[in-house]
Amino acid sequence: MNRILWICLIGLLSLVACQKENIDETTTTIIPEDPTVVITTEGDLAGKIIDESGEPVADALVDLDNKQTYTNELGLFILRDVSLKSNGSYVTIEKDGYFKGSRRFIPTDNRRQNIIVQLVEKTVSGQFNSTNATSVIVEGNTYVYFQADGIVDENGNPYTGEVLVYTHKLDPSDPNMPYQMPGDLTAITADNDRVTLASYGMLTVELESPSGAPLQLAEGKTAKIHYEISPDLRANAPSTIPLWHFDEDNGIWVEEGEAVREENLYVGEVAHFSTWNCDLPLEYFTITGQVLNNFKNELDRLVVDIRLANGGGFGGFTLTDGKGFFTAPVPADESLIMNIKYVNNCDIEVILYSETIGPFNSDTQLPNIFVDFANLDVELTTFEASGTLTDCDGNNVFGLVQFKDETGRILESIVTNTDGTFNTTIVSCNDIETVSLTAFSELASTDGSSTQNFAPTINFGTVALCDTFDTDEFSFVSVDLGIGIDDDEAHYSYTAIEYSECANMYYFEIAYADAMNTFSGNIYGIIAESSNPFTAGMTINGIGIIGDNNMNPTSIEITFISVSNDAVSGSFTIVESGATGVFSAPLSN
């Protein structure tokens, strides 16, 4: 395997997490947690991160219990062989310029879990001087009232000056709300009971100084939220409703105060800002099911959207996994409307299946759900796409696949199975003449492609991903680091690599071996996402993950890098062992 080819691909994929075999092997560990016992299982988490227009968001940081990766240019990511909690796993997504996104989901055993998160761009709704009392309009009749002299900086010190107010209203009647809302609807009441919520609306508020420093309400000060109730929910909206704030550390809603209905507004006071939710708490049970088409093919990545049938708010949301299965908490003793939806770049919301379910008074396995694409209210073009990704030697490789039509419009982006195979249903709102496939792999430096005429079933066959980069343009220098790992003497050498045009980044390589050469390998990573060339004297934060030359999941964290005219130096930590080291080496020219 050519090392340069490998690391260049990593730049193209924006650090998709490293591959490991036997991902479907499940282990369970009982972990005590109040108030429930949590079972963890090893599995994969794959997802798509999009913006408000449905376009992919690249280079977004994805974090699941400190296991991190970045979305690639398709907005895709995968975290492999991660521990998933049976009562709800929590993943966060961050990118500069956007509100923090997150999702809480209930995993299913031995299958890849899927999520879709829509990041919302941070825009200023208004600003005010902290010495004045003022109101900032969010949207329509929704606004926030601030007291005078009620703002502090992130250290709790009084703040005087201009305050920028960033807000985002989430309306349960908006079809995008499930993709934008934080976590799920799992909550903890003031009495420490675990419940699910029926949402009447959410509001995110963040405060910053003009320089971008975070601000917060001062202790003893409050702000008053005036939230306009959606017309669809006014008939059943109660006169008072609990307020809940989203705990970003634990991914769960926490009850804090209440709002009072004043005509078509809910009005409540809050002592701090995050995302606030006007919701009714409900006892819940868990439903599971599987979604298939008429040919009994599993349908993955479909949205399961659950609402109270009486118009009493949004009640649940999840996605089908790699085999079409889903698990979701739903309100107990309530009639519910379950909609199965497909998310793509259509201009309309595509509901594939709708049914009234419940009431439920226990955990329930639903009958199989069949989607008949031929008898929908909206005209859709569908086809089954299958194939296998290989390297140039014919070995199957795990990868990422994107489908486009003849106009270049993206139809879908998916992650293959572990063995590089894929078999998926693609849905389009437009007619299609040809379908082109572009694939990327962790183990090859170039993409592979294939174009086929449209047909109800398209087998792309074997798509080979082959190396094409000219490695002669790279030069290397090394220096012995000589640090220890796991109480055995090991030697590390750092290799500086010339700026790579293939990914617009600098890279490093660390080779290691113990004294008896009983273990050895090469670890690759990205020094920095930086323009070319480095500037003398600049200090940068590096990124290092990826694995060794056998694709084992050793992780590297670059904690500091200093750059001079002709050298780079810094420190690193090997995450699994805790071993640390420093390096210093000339830059390649």
Judge whether residue 577 has pLDDT over 70.
no
* 3 state SS of 472: helix
The pLDDT of residue 400: 79
Superfamily for the 1-120 domain: Carboxypeptidase-like, regulatory domain (2.60.40.1120)
Q: Which residue has the tokens 């109800």?
A: 456
CA–CA separation, 371 vs 340, rounded Å? 9
The pLDDT of residue 40: 65
Residue 297 pLDDT class (50, 70, 90 cuts): low
Tokens at 462, concatenated:
């074997």
The pLDDT of residue 514: 44
Q: Which CATH number fits domain 381-465: 2.40.50.140, 3.40.50.10310, 2.60.40.10, 3.30.2130.10?
A: 2.60.40.10
CA–CA separation, 438 vs 13, rounded Å? 13
Residue 470 pLDDT class (50, 70, 90 cuts): very low
Residue 137 pLDDT class (50, 70, 90 cuts): very high
- Cis-peptide, bond into residue 172, ω within 30° of zero: no
CA–CA separation, 37 vs 467, rounded Å? 49
Q: Find, among 381, 498, 480, 391, the residue nearest to 431 by Cα.
A: 381
What pLDDT, in 10s, does the model give residues 327-380? 888 888 889 999 888 766 565 667 888 899 989 999 999 999 988 877 777 777
CA–CA separation, 204 vs 211, rounded Å? 20
Q: Find, among 427, 423, 420, 425, the residue nearest to 441 by Cα.
A: 420
Residue 431 pLDDT class (50, 70, 90 cuts): confident
What 3 state SS string does 310-358 have? CCCCEEEEEECCCCCEEEEEEECCCCEEEEEEECCCCCCCEEEEEEEEC
Residues of the chain with CATH 2.60.40.1120: 1-120
Tokens at 325, concatenated:
């299965």
Q: What is the CA radius of gyration of the chain?
A: 26
Residue 227 near residue 265, CB atoms below 8 Å: yes
CA–CA separation, 481 vs 477, rounded Å? 13
CA–CA separation, 82 vs 65, rounded Å? 9
Amino acid in position 240: T
Residues of the chain with CATH 2.60.220: 124-282
Q: How many CB atoms sit inside 10 A of residue 566's CB?
A: 11
The pLDDT of residue 539: 42
Q: How many CB atoms sit inside 10 A of residue 472's CB?
A: 6
Judge whether residue 144 has pLDDT over 70.
yes
CA–CA separation, 371 vs 355, rounded Å? 12
DSSP H helix total and E strand total for the chain: 2, 45
The pLDDT of residue 26: 30
Assigned CATH topology for domain 124-282: Chondroitinase Ac; Chain A, domain 3 (2.60.220)
Q: Which helix (H) or strand (E) holds 548?
A: none
- Cis-peptide, bond into residue 533, ω within 30° of zero: yes
Residue 121 near residue 55, CB atoms below 8 Å: no
Residues of the chain with CATH 2.60.40.10: 381-465
Q: Find, among 271, 272, 275, the residue nearest to 247 by Cα.
A: 275
The pLDDT of residue 323: 79
- Cis-peptide, bond into residue 107, ω within 30° of zero: no
What pLDDT, in 10s, does the model give residues 164-213? 999 999 998 888 888 899 999 889 999 999 898 888 999 999 999 999 99
What pLDDT, in 10s, does the model give residues 437-451? 888 765 444 567 888
Residue 434 near residue 406, CB atoms below 8 Å: yes
Over the chain, what is the mean pLDDT?
74
Per the model's pLDDT, the better-predicted residue between 114 and 527 turns out to be: 114
What number is the average pLDDT over the span 506-517? 48
The greatest distance separating any two alpha carbons of the chain, rounded to the nearest whole angstrom, comes to 78
Going by the DSSP 8-state scheme, the letter that residue 233 receives in this structure is G
Residue 401 near residue 438, CB atoms below 8 Å: yes
What pLDDT, in 10s, does the model give residues 79-106? 877 888 877 889 999 999 999 999 998 8
Residue 566 near residue 34, CB atoms below 8 Å: no
The pLDDT of residue 9: 38
CA–CA separation, 59 vs 96, rounded Å? 10
What pLDDT, in 10s, does the model give residues 228-245? 999 988 988 999 999 999
CA–CA separation, 109 vs 97, rounded Å? 36
Q: How many CB atoms sit inside 10 A of residue 194's CB?
A: 16
